[in-house]
Each structure stands twice: as C-alpha cells, then as structure tokens.
Structure 1
C-alpha cells in the first residue's frame, strides 16, 4: 500500500522504490564527484592515510545527508529535490539536525566499515569481531532487505531507527497517518542479524581447513613488511577452455609509498610467500600485486602493478 486516500483531496504518498533509489543514486554521483576532486588534489595525502581516508568520506557524506535531509534544507538532498521526495517523521514534520544525522549514521556505518583492515584473529575470535559482523553484515543485509521488500512503508533500517519516512513532495497532501510496517519484517531482520553473528565462527572454521592452511601466518608476515599498510592473501585457481587447472597463491599489498613499479620488492614478497606457505609445492604460480592509492568510501583511486613468479624462481 503505497498511498492513502482521504476526503478532501490526495493524501500523502510514500515515495516508491525507483524514485527513492534514483534520488539516492544522484546523491552518490554528486558525492563521488566531490571525492574525485579531493582525490585528484590530495592523492598522496589520502594514500598515506590508508583506511583512515574513509573517515573523510564518511564525514562528507554525513554532513551532506545529515544537513540536507533535516529541516535545514527542507528534508531534501539535491537528488530528492530533483525527483520530488523528502524526509519527514510520522507526523509529517521535518527532522531535526541531530535526528537526521543519526539517520545517516545508521545507514552509512555498515558500508563505510566494510573492508576495514583487521587482523583475521581479531575479526574471528573476539567480541569486537562479532560486533563488527553484526554492524557490517547484519546492517547491510537488513538495509537492503527492507529497501526491497518493505513495500508498505518503504522504511529501511535507518528510517525505522529514527521514525522517518520518505514521501512524495510534488503534489498536494492531506495530513493523514502513514501506514504501519508489516511486523514480519522485524522477524526477518532478526534472522539476518543471527546469520551475521555466525560469520566469525564460520570464518574461523574455514581458516582451519586445508584450503586455507598457512594463510593466516602468511598474512601476518606480509603485514609487517616495510611500506605495507594492509595485506590480503588468497589461494586461487583458473582453467581456460577446460584445459589444465592453474593453482596460484596471490597477495595484494596496499602501500604507503608509490612503489608499485618496484620489481625487487615484489620478488622479495614472493620469496617470503614461498618460504612461509607450507603448501607452496602445490602452487603453479605466485602472484604479487602492489597497490598505492586511496579509498574514501565515496570515491577511490589506485595505481597498481601485478607480478607473477614460478615457485622454482623463488628458491
């Protein structure tokens, strides 16, 4: 039920999925342009910040959505203004600035916190790991689920947190109550939270399998190398046209200096990988990708170079 009708004229109408999504996409494009300009001007500074560059992106997004979706800007970001929708509460009143800021915090934190560089042991076996799993995976799953399936009120998690709605604002409206969300969605969101909380335990079990043998100590070794801010290690395989399967040990290293063309560094990393991995004899190739750049969440820019070595070359 997307609209209610009462006597005396058309009632307030909750914004439909596509109109709301279109406004959000427009806003993301605008924020991306701001991030791209900052990245072009401050590339090295942002690259040196590593994961902390996301704090700048989050602050920009928080200020934009928080201020524009509040009564200060009539409950409308530029995207909402162009597509004729606005944010209000259940009494059709515009949100205060603190309430609007909280609304975006609930929406933004799961996405900005996703991909933070954490020690796998910390992420898998501590209360912090379970908390992050709940916030990141539980939050993202709930937000996306409610966006797609809460068709009655079109409220997602951040709307429910502050009691807000996104309504059409391109026509006359009568002050009638908004519909009430189907309670079954609460059960689904709770189940999604339980699934998210199981992620660290599942990851811990996978870490103990043969496929991931040696990955954790290898990650710890690479993470302590000079100029390496963050490391990622995976095992992979590829097969072309049903031919021989090629097994590979791959690492991606995010650097604090523009060293992506340093072949000697790449070979040194590959030698460490070959020395540390107990299953190196089963690999056909060792791949090292050196990366220098930034990720603000609203925009990113990278310079990267990949290197491949045969295990026999690394003795």
Structure 2
C-alpha cells in the first residue's frame, strides 16, 4: 500500500523535542519526590518511563504521543491502520538496539532518509512496518474504544 501524506524531518523532530521535554519534566518531578534530586548523572529507575510512554501512549491513542498530537502527526501501520503493540515494540525497542550497534550512525542515516526519501520513512519505520502521517484517525476508529 502507498504511504499517504507522510511527515518530514522538522515536524517529526519537533514532536520528539516536545515529548523529550515532557518526559524530562515528569521524570524529574517524580525523581525529586522519590529520591530528593530532580536529575543526576547516575542511572535512575525512572529512565524507562520514556520508553513506556513511546510504546503505550500511541497504542491507546491512535498513534499519537503528546508531541505528535501537538504537531498534528501520528504513527500508523504501512497499510494505514492503527499501530499495534508488535509494531511499536519493533519500532522502539529493536531500533534502539540497531542505533546503538551502529554507534549512532543509523540515527543519522534515518534523519537523512526522512529528509530525502519520497515516503519519509526512517530505519525505525521500516523495522516497525510503520510511517508517520498527517492524516487523522477515521471517525469509525475513534468510536471503537
């Protein structure tokens, strides 16, 4: 199926920045309450909250995160349907592994792919069988829950 209305680099980056700020503030506040420090250089058990956020929120909110909703974009399967847990796990977890193995080079390649490819799909989109679109969910999809 053809990718419809794909989102380019700057909107995707904007959504990631909004999500990063949100997760930084939320985990910082929780960390300050639990550990007495807003942030530190050591491992924090709350670091996984951002990963859960990027997997669970789009699963239950038609492919949106807060940042994606603010920029008017969402994640969908390659066929245009709502993403499932398998797509999101592959997109987030496996892609983290790929980007780490390539020492960040894969992330740079992904940025160029989003900027230069006609379908605007990055490595993590190919891994997860997804793409990011401007198209809102259909009305029938929104009434299912």
The TM-score bracket by the shorter chain reads: 0.7 to 0.9
**Which has the larger helix fraction?**
2
Query: What are the superposed Cα offsets for residues 212-261 of structure 1, whole Å, 9 maximum, x if unpaired?
Result: xxxxxxxxxxxxxxxxxxxxxxxxxxxxxxxxxxxxxxxxxxxxxxxxxx
Shift of 1:157: 2.1
In the alignment, what sits opposite 2:121?
155
1:78 to 60, 66, 80: 66
2:135 to 169, 182, 187: 169
Q: CA RMSD in A?
A: 3.0
Shift of 1:35: 1.5
In the alignment, what sits opposite 2:81?
93
Shift of the 139–13 alpha-carbon distance from structure 1 to 2, 3 Å rule, reads farther
Aligned partners of 2:131 and 2:103: how far apart in 1?
19
Moved over 4 A (4+): 44-47
**1:243-282 matches, cutoff 5 A:** none
In the alignment, what sits opposite 1:20?
12
Shift of 1:147: 1.5
Aligned partners of 2:24 and 2:38: how far apart in 1?
15
SS at match of 1:63: helix
In the alignment, what sits opposite 1:256?
none
In the alignment, what sits opposite 1:62?
51
Q: Which has the larger radius of gyration?
A: 1
Whether the aligned pair in 2 keeps the contact of 1:90 and 1:165 (CA below 8 Å) is yes
Query: What are the superposed Cα offsets for residues 8-36 of structure 1, whole Å, 9 maximum, x if unpaired?
Result: xxx93100111111111111111011111
**1:126-137 matches, cutoff 5 A:** 136=100
Query: What are the superposed Cα offsets for residues 32-75 of structure 1, whole Å, 9 maximum, x if unpaired?
Result: 1111102211336999xx43x2x531x211221111222x2100
Note the residue ranges of structure 1 that are not aligned, 5 or more in a row: 5-10, 111-133, 173-315
Aligned partners of 1:35 and 1:97: how far apart in 2?
23
SS at match of 1:165: strand
Aligned partners of 2:25 and 2:38: how far apart in 1?
16
**1:161-240 matches, cutoff 5 A:** 161-169=127-135
Query: What are the superposed Cα offsets for residues 147-168 of structure 1, whole Å, 9 maximum, x if unpaired?
Result: 2244222222221111110011
Shift of 1:102: 2.8
SS at match of 1:13: coil
Matched pairs, number:
134
Structure number with greater CO (CA < 8 Å, separation at least 6) is 2
SS at match of 2:75: strand
Shift of the 156–24 alpha-carbon distance from structure 1 to 2, 3 Å rule, reads same
SS at match of 2:80: coil
